[in-house]
Amino acid sequence: MKRTLICAFILCVSSTPSLSGLAPLEAVLFDVDGTLCDSDPLHYYAFRELLQEIGFNGGVPITEDFFVENIAGKHNEDIATLLFPDDHPRGVKFLEDKEAMFRRFAKEQVKPIDGIYKLRKWIEDRGLKRAAVTNAPRLNAELMISILGLSDFFDYVVLGSDCDRAKPFPDPYLKALELLGVSKDHTIVFEDSVSGIKAGVAAGMPVIGLTTRNPEHLLMQAKPTFLIKDYEDPKLWAALEELDKKATGSA
């Protein structure tokens, strides 16, 4: 019995999230949709309504599962190809209309992820560099960041369209590292989608995944360092406290 308890304790300790290997931390990178704000429901609604209007899938509305598996976190060029494989220009135009609808909704309905301003203060207090790295179109990204009051927080906003390849390829995150002049070995990423987590991991950085909307089992397949519910999650703050101790040499 005692041996079983000891083994269980060791397993619990070994599974505690750790970021101490990043010390000293230099930078923090954030995705935007689903990571700074819970915007996926607005995207889903816009896709569902407009696709139904044009008779996609025989006029049957797309499901949330379809949205998560095929659309969430992906670049619009890839979405256009998926939805309109035989008519890419039509797909591009459709995505333009969809983004315009999303922005109308966002102005009234976008809300921050819980704890984001607490984490913002933690980052600013330590003088860390930061960038937003997103597959969203520029108008969307800038609108959401502005609504959240984070325009002055980010040193750079890097778009998937700024790079040869968007997420899930590592290019946007590698570009952010270059712009900030920081090492991947001292930078952390926050993401909420499979595509985004894969991009951060491929760029060689630890990624903390948010379970804002996407299922945990799908996110874990992309190999995040650990998952959190939001920025109030005790797991995150325990890991950041450990990182602080490592950086200052505290026991």
Residues identified as active-site: 31, 33
Question: What is the rounded distance in angstroms from the CA atom of residue 202 to the CA atom of residue 77?
Answer: 21
Question: What is the rounded distance in angstroms from the CA atom of residue 18 to the CA atom of residue 244?
Answer: 11
What is the Cα Rg of the chain in Å?
A: 19
Question: What is the rounded distance in angstroms from the CA atom of residue 33 to the CA atom of residue 73?
Answer: 8
Q: In what order do the strands lie in the sheet with 207-210?
A: 156-159, 129-134, 27-30, 187-191, 207-210, 226-228
The tokens for 24 are 């000293």
Determine contact, residues 203/173, Cβ cutoff 8 Å. yes
